[in-house]
Chain A
Amino acid sequence: MKIEILFPEICNLYGDLMNVKYLKKCCPGIELVATSLKDDPLFLTEKPDMIYMGTMTEASQELVIKKLRPYKDRIVQLIEENAIFLITGNALEVFGRAIENEDGTSIECLGLFDFTAKRRMMARYNSLYLGRFGNMDIVGFKSQFTFAYGADENKALFRTIRGDGMNRETKAEGIRVNNFMATYVIGPLVVLNPPFASYLLAVMGAECKELAFSKAAYDVYSTRIKEFSDPNRGFTY
C-alpha cells in the first residue's frame, strides 16, 4: 500500500505532512513515497493508494503548476478511476482555473475545476473551522492569503457549520469529485479528525484495527468540537 507525497521539499508548511505520517502510524504497512520536483511522479506508472499534497509558498505554487501541467490528462484519468487524492491548504488552488494577484496579474493553473483564487497578500485570513463531512464533524484551522470563487457548491468536500467556506460568502468548503478531496483547511487535518482518518483508511482498503493513539486523538477531537461549537468563542482572528 503506497501513499505518494508530492513535492514534500516545498509542500510542507503548517505541519501538513503529519497527515500522511499519522496514516502510516495507524497502518505501518503503508509505504510513503516522496516525489520531488525533479522526479517523475509515481502516479504516472502506478495508481498509488493515495496521492497527497500539502500547503506551499506562493512561489512554490508556480513551480508545482509547471511541474504538473504535462500530467494533467493523467490526473483527470486517475480522478475518473477513483484514485484517492488528499490536498490541503493552498495546494487546492493548483487544480483550479487561475490565481489572480492584486496587481491584476494572473497565474494559469491546471484548470481541472472551475474556480479562481484571489490573492490579497496584505490581508491574511485566519479562522477556526467547524464543518461536516457526511455524518461526521470536521474541526481545523484556516490561515491563508486567498479565497476561491466560482466553485461548484455541489462538489464541496465539507459543509461549513462555523467559519467560512471557499470564500466569505459560501458555506461550501473544498472540492470533492469521486475520491479527489481538497480543502483550504491547513495542518494536521487527519490527526485532529480521527473519524476522517478512519474513513480515509477504509477507502484506501488499509487493514488497520484501531487508529494510532486512538484514545488521545478522540479526546482532542471531542474537546475541540465542544470548543468550536461554543457560540461565545470567537472564530475569525
Chain B
Amino acid sequence: MGKLRYFAALWAAKLSVPALKLTGHNGTNYPGELAIKICPDFLKYIGKPEKIIAVTGTNGKTTTCNMTVDILEKAGYRVLNNRFGSNINSGIATSLITGSTVFGKTKYKLAVFEVDERSSLKIYPYVKPDYILVTNLFRDSIMRNGHPQYIADFITRAVPKSSKLILNADDLIACNVAPENERVYFGIKQMDTDRVECINLINDMQICPVCQGRLKYDYLRYHHIGKARCPDCGFSSPAYTYAGDNIDIHNMTMVVREHDDSCEYKLVSDNIVNIYNMVSVIAILREFGMKHDDIRRYMSTVSIVNSRYNVTKQGDIRIIMHMAKEKNALAITRAFDYVISQPGKKELFLMMSCLNDEKHWSENTCWMYDCDFEFLDNDTVTRIIATGPRAKDYKLRLLLAGVPEEKICCVKDELEAVDSLSFEDIDNIYILHGVDSLDIANKVRDEVIRRVREAEKR
C-alpha cells in the first residue's frame, strides 16, 4: 500500500510540474506539497543522490548554499538543489521530484539543500545528509522560534547519527548541537575590530554550559559570536579546523588555515557576515574533497547576490534600500550596526512593520526591546523618520534608546513620511524595510528620488 501510494503521489506531482509551468507558476512547492499530502512519508521513498550536503542555521543559509552550488557547478558537478523553491519539507520534496525519473530514480549524484531549522524533524528522518553545516543560531521570530536553544534542541533531535557536522566554533549555541555526531569547526580568528565585552542587548551565551560560571571572551564580534572560555572550569570554545585569518578589508583578502596548510582567498564581500559565509563554504568544499586551489579559483568568479541591499545615486545623495527582516531583533540590529558604520550623514526611514500581521491581528513588538536601537543615537544620523503601522512604537523605543526627540519624525503613512526629509547637509538616505514592506518601500524610494531631483533643480 505504501509503495502504491508513493507512486500515485510521484506521478500526480510530476504531472503538476508542466501544468504549473503552463500557468506561469514556476518555483512553487506545489509538487512537493501534493506528493506529501497523498503520501505523508513520500520523502522516504523518493530517490536521493549518493551525496547530500545540507545547510541550516538562522542566518546565511541561502548565501552559503548558493555559493556552494555555484562553485561545485563551475567545477563540473551537476548539483540538485532547492535554490528556486523553499527550504521546508515540501521544497526538498519538490527538488527531489524534479530531479528524478518517472519511476522516482534520482538523476543526480550530488545535492545541496538549504534546510529550515524547524523543518529538520520532517526532513532528516528520510533525507540523511552526509554533511550538515550549521551557520549560526540566533534569536529569530519570537512567535515561531522561541529562543535559539529551542532551535538547537530541535536540530539535535533531528540530525541523523551518520551525518558529519560542520559547525561554527565562534557560536557556542550552534557548535553544541548533536554532541555525539562527528564534527569539524570553522570560524574567524581575532580581528582588529573585535571587543571583549558585549555591547548588544542580545547575548545568549553569557554562562558556561558546563558549570554556569560567567564566560570570558578572548574576543567578541557581535552578540555571542566570538571565542569564549570559562575561568571557573576551563571550558572553552572548540579549536578551528578551518580558520579565517588575516582578514584584510583594504586589499580584500583573507587566509584560510587548516592544520599545517593555508591558502589566501580573495574576499567576495567586506561584510563580516559574508566572510563567515565564505569560510563556511570553504569548510564544506574541503570536507567534500575539493582542493584549496580549485575552491579559490572558482570562488573568485562567484558573486553574492545582494537582493537585500541596493543603492541609487541621485546627485550627491545615495538612496539605500536595506532589508532588515521584520520582527527579528538580531537582523535589525545588524542592519543598524552596518548603517552607522558607513561614512557620511544619514537620514533614515524606519519602516520594518510586519504588514501581514497588521492585517490579521497586531504585530508583537517585543522584538524592539531586544534590538539595539541605541546604535541610532549616533552623530551621523541626523533624522529618523518612523513610519508605518508601528510608527509610534518606533518613536517610543528611539526615545528610550536616547535618541533626541528633535531628530525623530513620526508619520504613519509611508508616502506622506517622505515630506519629513530635510535634505539638509546629508550624504545618504536609508530606507530600512522588511519583507512585507518591500513594495511600499520601493514606492517611498521612488518618491525620495523624485524629491531629490526636484531639490536639485531648485
Contact = CB atoms under 8 A, between A and B. Distances in A.
Interface of A: 9-10, 13-18, 21-22, 25, 36-38, 57-59, 63, 121, 124, 126, 128, 141, 143, 145, 186-188, 191, 212-213, 216-217, 219-220, 223-224, 227-228, 233-237
Interface string B204-223: 00110000111000000000
Contacts of B399: 212-213, 216
Contacts of B149: 57-59
B392 A223 contact: yes
Contacts, number: 99
A22 B400 CA distance: 8
Contacts of A234: 360-361
Contacts of B201: 15, 17
14 contacts: A13-B147, A37-B207, A124-B146, A126-B143, A141-B364, A143-B364, A186-B142, A186-B366, A191-B396, A216-B396, A224-B362, A227-B362, A234-B360, A236-B361
Interface band, chain B: 20 to 34
B266 to A, nearest CB: 40
List of 10 A-B pairs having minimum Cβ-Cβ separation, nearest first: A15-B369, A187-B366, A234-B361, A9-B206, A18-B369, A213-B399, A126-B143, A216-B396, A14-B366, A188-B369
Contacts of B214: 9, 36, 38
Main SS of the interface on chain A?
mixed
Main SS of the interface on chain B?
helix
A25 B397 CA distance: 12
Contact of A237 (B139, B213, B361, B400): B361
A236 B329 CA distance: 22
A96 B149 CA distance: 23
Interface string B134-149: 0000010011101101
A128 B357 CA distance: 11
Contacts of A16: 369
B395 interface: yes
Given A57-B150, A143-B142, A216-B392, A191 B369 contact: yes
Given A14-B142, A38-B212, A233-B362, A220 B400 contact: no
B368 interface: yes
A105 to B, nearest CB: 15
Contacts of A14: 142, 366-367, 369-370
Contact of B392 (A13, A124, A141, A220): A220
A216 to B, nearest CB: 4
Nearest to B329: A15
